[in-house]
Amino acid sequence: MNEIKKTLRDSAAARWTVLVLISLLMFATYWFQDFYSGLKGLMESQLHFSSSDFGLLISSTTWLNLVGGIVIGGIILDKWGIRLAGTLFGSLALLGAFLSWLGASGLVSDNPKTQLIIMMTGRLLFGPGLEVTCVTISKTIVKWFKGHELALAFGINMGFGRFGSALAMALSIDIAGGTVAPAIAFAGTLIALGLLAFLIHLIFDVRLDKQKVALASEQGDEEKFRLEDLVKLVKNRSFILIALLCVSFYAAVFPFIQYAPDLLVNKFGLTSEFPDMSGESFLKWLGAFFSNGPKVASLIPLGTILFTPIFGRIVDKKGKAASLMILGSLLLIFAHLSLSVFQSLTLGYIGLLSLGIAFSLVPAAMWPSVAKIVVESRLGTAYAMMFTIQNVGLALFFWGIGKVLDLANRGNLDAIRAGEMNYNYTIPIFMLVILGVIAIFFANQLRKRDKIDKYGLELPSGVKPE
């Protein structure tokens, strides 16, 4: 009998080529997710948005996700596969980007409320497009790297995403050139190019599936997804704990990133626009960089490009995933304390560094752990449920930080918008410290539970518990 002993996934060149292709879409969608953060001040001056309006716009990204958008996408992914789900929801993200640009451009209306509604509609569609695309990419990584360098592959993929976030935060104000629409058009173009790269990867996916069908005919059918598997996920205590850890951690990070440039400008007196440094020395350019809010805030995701693959490699080789999640949550608490309670810019820089490390450490340990807890046939739905629960926290804190910011400064809003006073960010950011404490609790409970369920979260990749 002519047996296929190896498939395309056993080729390192093929695996890493696929990873780069799908990670380009990750880069683009994360750029679009976070590029508004550097434009908050411009949106207030040009589009006349308040902090609450800004928070509402960002929060609208999560609304369809809260009513089952991601879970439906995850079921589509598990039932009909990577090719359909990735193409469909990548296209939805692109449509959302187009509507966001249309609203900001003023082509339909120059009324601020109408523009906000159109832009919110775009973000509304972009939300499930982004999240289901991320779920699809996550399942694709497991498909190609399980049994190989799984945590490292997740780390590198997340590095692409964080690089998109970092560049978006740092460069969007420069790309905008005083107008919001060009920055949106640029971000949307990146999604189109990323979607093209994903479609190219499908050539590899089709070939691998043909090889897997041939193997299945010789070794027996693979387990297929069934709707009853949703019940099994809900009853899996380890899965519920890691999902709750996910929401408490990310709710303290992603919403903060959207407000970080504005916080650094208002609390520590950094600038909002980067000066023309042509002809200046590198040291002067560096000084200008660290005096600019959007540029400094971009270091949060930028640092993860280096640290996430390193931590992923550690998880692959040494294990200790649950313990590393506890450590990352501790760093998260320190970061938000230093940025809310204290007034020292130096301590603020250290806090941002700590946040960047936490932002690398927890995801590098968490996402590969899900592949240990959940069988591959249910992974799409499992990741979708995690992203849905995560979006509850994001929706609350995307909007909540802006709302609390306005409430905490309600007596000075006119003076702040006139440039005569600064926002006081102490209370909105201190709220995130509580989320760090909750994250530690769930991470510790997950480590204890793993001793019962024996998924091997503290063991290296490929090593099964006794």
What percent of the chain has a predicted confidence (pLDDT) above 90?
56
pLDDT at 388: 85
The proportion of the chain whose per-residue pLDDT surpasses 70, expressed as a percent, equals 96
Q: How confident is the model at residue 191 (pLDDT cuts 50, 70, 90)?
A: very high
Q: Provide the domain limits for residue 426.
A: 16-210+226-453
Query: How many separate domains does the chain show?
Result: 1
Burial of 255 (0-12, 13-18, 19+ CB in 10 A): buried
Residue 308 has a pLDDT of 86
Q: Is residue 216 part of a domain?
A: no
Q: Count Cβ neighbours within 10 Å for each residue of 144-160 and write b for 16 or more, e otherwise.
A: bbbeebbbbbbbbbbbb
Q: Classify 7 as helix, strand or coil.
A: coil
3-state secondary structure 281-292: CHHHHHHHHCCE
pLDDT in tens, 342-376: 999 999 999 999 998 999 899 999 989 998 998 87
Residue 182 and residue 50 in contact, taking contact as beta carbons nearer than 8 Å:
no
Q: Does 236 fall in a domain? A: yes
Closest CA to 368 of 165, 138, 130: 138
Joined tokens for residue 75: 């079921």
For residue 237, tell me if it sits in a domain: yes
Give the per-residue pLDDT at 2.
45
Over residues 117-167, the pLDDT tens digits come to 999 999 999 999 999 999 999 999 999 998 888 889 999 998 899 899 889
Q: How far is CA 211 from CA 3, 45, 150, 201, 386, in A?
A: 10, 57, 21, 16, 31
Distance CA 120, CA 56 (A): 8
Residue 288 counted as domain residue: yes
Give the per-residue pLDDT at 416. 85
Tokens representing residue 460 in the block: 């290296």
Which pLDDT score, from 0 to 100, does residue 381 have?
A: 81
C-alpha angle 176-103-33 in degrees, rounded to nearest 5: 60
Element housing 55 (H / E): helix 51-59
DSSP string, 75-91: HHHHHH-HHHHHHHHHH
Residue 3 has pLDDT above 60, yes or no: no
Q: Residue 67 CB: number of other CB atoms within 10 A?
A: 11
Average pLDDT of the chain to the nearest whole number: 89
Output the pLDDT for position 216: 64
Q: Give me the residues paired with residue 292 across strands.
A: 271
**Amino acid letter, residue 189:** T
> Considering the domain boundaries, does residue 11 fall inside one?
no
In the beta sheet, which residues pair with residue 271? Answer: 292
CA–CA distance from 257 to each of 41, 166, 173, 351, 448 (Å)? 15, 10, 15, 13, 31
pLDDT at 83 > cutoff 90: yes
Q: Sign of the C-alpha dihedral, residues 57, 124, 400, 239?
A: negative
The per-residue pLDDT for 457 is 93
300 lies in a domain?
A: yes
334, pLDDT greater than 90: yes
- Pairwise pLDDT comparison (224 vs 73), residue with the higher score: 73
Q: Are 165 and 301 in contact (CB under 8 A)?
A: yes
In a domain? residue 272: yes
The 10s digit of each residue's pLDDT in 215-273 is: 765 554 455 556 666 778 888 999 999 999 999 999 999 899 889 999 999 999 999 88
Sequential DSSP letters for 360-409: HHHHHHHHHHHHHHS-GGGHHHHHHHHHHHHHHHHHHHHHHHHHHHHHHT
E strands, 237-340, in order: none
- For 302-318, how does the pLDDT look when each residue is reduced to its tens digit (9 = 90+)? 778 888 889 999 999 99
pLDDT at residue 376 in the model? 78
- Alpha-carbon gap, residue 253 to 394, rounded angstroms: 9
| Domain CATH code at residue 306 | 1.20.1250.20
pLDDT at 218 (0 to 100): 53
Q: Rounded to two decimals, what is the model's pTM?
A: 0.78
pLDDT at 294: 86
Q: pLDDT value at position 21?
A: 97
Q: How far apart are CA 345 and CA 349, in angstroms?
A: 6
d(CA 334, CA 324): 16
What does the pLDDT read at residue 227?
Answer: 62
| pLDDT tops 80 at residue 200 | yes
Residue 202 belongs to some domain of the structure: yes
Question: What do you get for the CA distance between the two ends of the chain, in Å?
Answer: 35
